[in-house]
Chain A
Amino acid sequence: SFELTQPPSVSVSPGQTARISCSGDNLSDKYACWYQQKPGQSPLLVIYQNGKRPSGIPERFSGSNSGNTATLTISGTQAVDDADYYCQAWDFSTAIFGGGTKLTVL
Chain B
Amino acid sequence: QLQLQESGPGLVKPSETLSLTCSVSGDSITSSSYSWGWIRQPPGKGLEWIGSLSYSGSTSYNPSLKSRLTISLDTATNQFSLKLISVSAADTAVYYCARREEEVAGTIDHWGQGTLVTVSS
Contact = CB atoms under 8 A, between A and B. Distances in A.
Interface string A83-105: 00010101001111111100000
Contacts of A94: 49, 60-63
A61 interface: no
B39 interface: yes
Contacts of B96: 42-43
Contact of B108 (A41, A45, A99): A45
A76 B4 CA distance: 32
Interface in A22-38: 31, 33, 35
Interface string B32-47: 0000000100000011
In which size bucket is the chain B interface? 20 to 34
Nearest to A32: B105
Given A43-B47, A96-B49, A33 B105 contact: yes
Nearest to B4: A42
29 contacts: A31-B104, A31-B105, A31-B106, A33-B107, A33-B108, A35-B47, A41-B113, A42-B111, A42-B113, A42-B114, A43-B96, A45-B108, A45-B110, A48-B107, A48-B109, A49-B104, A49-B107, A54-B109, A86-B46, A88-B47, A88-B108, A93-B60, A94-B60, A94-B61, A94-B62, A94-B63, A95-B108, A97-B46, A97-B49
Interface of B: 39, 46-49, 59-63, 96, 104-114
Given A42-B112, A97-B48, 13 more contacts: A41-B113, A42-B114, A44-B111, A48-B105, A48-B107, A86-B47, A90-B105, A93-B59, A93-B60, A94-B63, A95-B106, A97-B46, A100-B47
